[in-house]
Amino acid sequence: MSLELVTFPYCPFGQRCLIALHEKGVAFDTTFVELDDPPDWLAGVSPLGKVPVLRTRGKAIFDSAVINEYLDETIEPSLYPVDALERALQRSWVAFAGELLTAQVAVYKAKSLRSFEEKLEKLGELVMLLAAAPVAGPFFGGARFSLVDAAYAPFFLRARIMQGRHEGLGPLPAGLEAWAEALARRPSVIRSVPPEFDSGYLGFLRGKGSWLLGAD
């Protein structure tokens, strides 16, 4: 089965899919696109013009959560619990991760102090909600890595890069810090970004007019 993931180099949602693909241990191709100047064909496979997109068997699937569900249903080993209730619980927290990542990106891309502070308040509220999540440790469901872990690894990676750049971007709550550290050591997470990701991500945000990085 041929698999091609279309994404953007700094897309946290695309990274979720890259982590899942590495966990599955399958061969796949990655095509990077620039969303500021997208190729003409992107609109034909992604109605909203967003990434990631998975192209396989002559069809295209969009939305990172849907892509990862497809990968999990078609390629062993499964990255969800067997128990239906536990599986649904983890899917609920995958959905929450989407809100969290969107809020995080909004903070980092804010172009003014006022906008930054407004968006930071919302992000802080979401982080505190996440801190109350039933994380068993070392991963969300215990010793076994799952798709909910893949969903949050991009958030923790970016939080580490930006930590300390503003008083409101301090350390994670204690319960989340241990989870973040476990994810950072996971081979699939390490392989999901290039070695120079940190500096490249900062450069990307500066190019977007980030108030936070403009104040460096």
Residue with tokens 């128990």: 83
With cut-offs at 50, 70 and 90, classify the pLDDT of residue 191: very high
In angstroms, rounded to a whole number, what is the distance separating the alpha carbons of residues 104 and 23? 25
Report the CATH number that the domain containing residue 50 is assigned in CATH: 3.40.30.10
Examine residue 36 and state whether it is found in any structural domain, yes or no. Answer: yes
Domain end position, chosen among 74, 109, 136: 74
Instruction: Quick: pLDDT tens for 129-148.
Output: 999 999 999 999 999 999 99
Residue 79 domain-assigned (yes or no): no
pLDDT in tens, 66-89: 999 999 999 999 999 999 999 999
Tell whether 49 and 100 lie within a shared domain: no
pLDDT-derived band of residue 170, with 50, 70 and 90 as boundaries? very high
Domain presence at residue 61? yes
pLDDT digits (tens, 9 = 90+) for 15-38: 999 999 999 999 999 999 998 999
Q: Which domain holds residue 150?
A: 84-214
CB neighbour list of residue 53: distance below 8 Å, 6 or more residues apart? 5, 6, 7, 42, 45, 46, 60, 61, 62, 67
> For residue 175, what pLDDT is reported?
86
| Co-location of 175 and 197 in the same domain | yes
CA distances in angstroms from 9 to 15, 82, 181, 188, 192, listed in the order given: 9, 33, 23, 16, 10
Q: What is the mean pLDDT of residues 189-195?
A: 97
Cβ count near 186 (within 10 Å): 19
Q: Does the pLDDT of residue 61 top 60, yes or no?
A: yes
The DSSP secondary structure of 66-126, one letter per residue, reads: HHHHHHHHHSSSPSS-SSHHHHHHHHHHHHHHHHHHHHHHHHHH--SHHHHHHHHHHHHHH
Contact 183, 158 (CB under 8 A): no
Q: Are residues 37 and 143 in the same domain?
A: no
Region of 176 (left: φ > 0; alpha: ψ -120 to 50; beta: rest) is: alpha
User: In this structure, are 107 and 132 located in the same domain?
Assistant: yes
Whole-model pTM over 0.85: yes
Helix or strand (DSSP H, E) at 61: strand 59-62
Residue 154 and residue 100 share a domain:
yes
Letter for the amino acid at 177? E
pLDDT above 90 (res 200): yes
Q: Measuring CA to CA, which residue among 99, 80, 88 is closest to residue 23?
A: 80
- By CB neighbour count within 10 A (0-12 exposed, 13-18 middle, 19+ buried), where does 26 fall? middle
Could you read off the pLDDT of 110-121 as tens digits, one per residue?
999 999 999 999
Give 1's pLDDT tier (boundaries 50, 70, 90): confident
Residue 197: the pLDDT is: 97
pLDDT, average across residues 89-101: 98
- Could you tell me if 112 and 163 lie in one domain? yes
Final residue of a structural domain among 27, 42, 74:
74
Based on the fold, state whether residues 117 and 207 are members of the same structural domain: yes
User: What does the alpha-carbon distance between residue 18 and residue 188 come to, in Å, rounded to a whole number?
Assistant: 8
Tell me: cis bond preceding 52? Omega within 30 of 0 counts. yes
> Looking at the structure, do residues 91 and 191 belong to the same domain, yes or no?
yes
pLDDT of 14 reads: 98
62 and 110 fall within a common domain: no
Residues 127 and 197 in one domain: yes
| CB 152 within 8 Å of CB 183 | yes
Q: How many domains does the chain have?
A: 2
Tell me the C-alpha distance between 26 and 34, whole Å: 25
User: Average pLDDT in the 77-103 region?
Assistant: 97
| pLDDT recorded at residue 214 | 87
Residue 156 lies in a domain: yes
> Does residue 157 surpass a pLDDT of 60?
yes
CATH of the domain at 113: 1.20.1050.10
Final residue in a domain of this structure, among 44, 74, 104: 74
Same domain, 67 and 89: no
- Mean pLDDT, the chain, rounded, equals 96
Identify the band that residue 215 occupies on the pLDDT scale cut at 50, 70 and 90. low
Among 107, 148, 157, which residue's Cα sits nearest to residue 130? Answer: 148
Same domain, 88 and 177: yes
